[in-house]
Amino acid sequence: MRWLTFRSAPFVLIFLVLTTGCTNKLKQRAVVKGTLKLSNGKMLNHGRVHFYTNDENYFGSAFIDAKGAYEMKDAPLGDVVVAIIVEVPSGGLGGMPSGVKLPPGGRMPKGKAPEGSKTEAVPVDPGKIVRVPDKYAKRETSPLRYTVTSGEQTKDFVLEP
C-alpha cells in the first residue's frame, strides 16, 4: 500500500500545481461599474460592454441598461481593451444572443425569455436605441483602454465619433 502512495505522489503534486494556477488566474477578477455615453452627452441605452485582456484569453462582459449604466462582476485584472456592442434587433427584442428563436409574430410576451436565452427578454424600440460608431464593436479597432485593478471600481467611458 505504501508504494502506491509514493508512486501516485508526483501525479497528485502535478495536479495540484496545475489546478492552483488555473484557479488563481480565474479568481483574478474585479467588479467594474460605470456609465457609457457619446461625446454629445447622450447616454447609451442598450447593448453590452466587453473587457478583453491583451492575451485575448480572458474577458468580462456586462449588459448596458436603459440609463447607460453597466456593472461587470467578472472583469479580468490588468490592461484591457474595451469593446461596446450595440445591436439593433429586428424582432423588437434587444440583447438576444445568436441562435435564439422568437415565436411566430416575432415578439415575446412581456417578461418571458425567448427559447435558448438565459436572460430575461426586455422589449426594445429599435428606433430609440442609441447607436455607436462601428469602431467600438471590435477589440481590434476600439480605441478604449482601461487598467482593471483588484476590488470594486468605477469607470465611465465617453465615446467620440
Residue ranges per domain, the chain? 30-86+130-159
Assign 121 a pLDDT band (cuts: 50, 70, 90): very low
Q: For a pLDDT cut of 90, what percent of the chain falls above it?
A: 53
pTM: predicted TM-score of the whole model, two decimal places: 0.66
**Cα–Cα distance measured from residue 117 to residue 63, given in angstroms and rounded to the nearest whole number:** 14
* CATH for the stretch 30-86+130-159: 2.60.40.10
Task: Check residues 138 and 55 and name the one with the higher pLDDT.
Answer: 138
Distance CA 70, CA 61 (A): 9
pLDDT for 88 equals 82
55-64 pLDDT, tens digit each: 877 789 999 9
What is the pLDDT of the chain when averaged over all its residues? 76
**Cα–Cα distance measured from residue 33 to residue 145, given in angstroms and rounded to the nearest whole number:** 15
Instruction: Classify residue 44 as exposed, middle or buried by CB count within 10 Å of its CB (0-12, 13-18, 19+).
Output: buried
For the chain, count helices (H), then strands (E): 1, 10
SS (H, E, C) 116-129: CCCCCCEECCHHHC
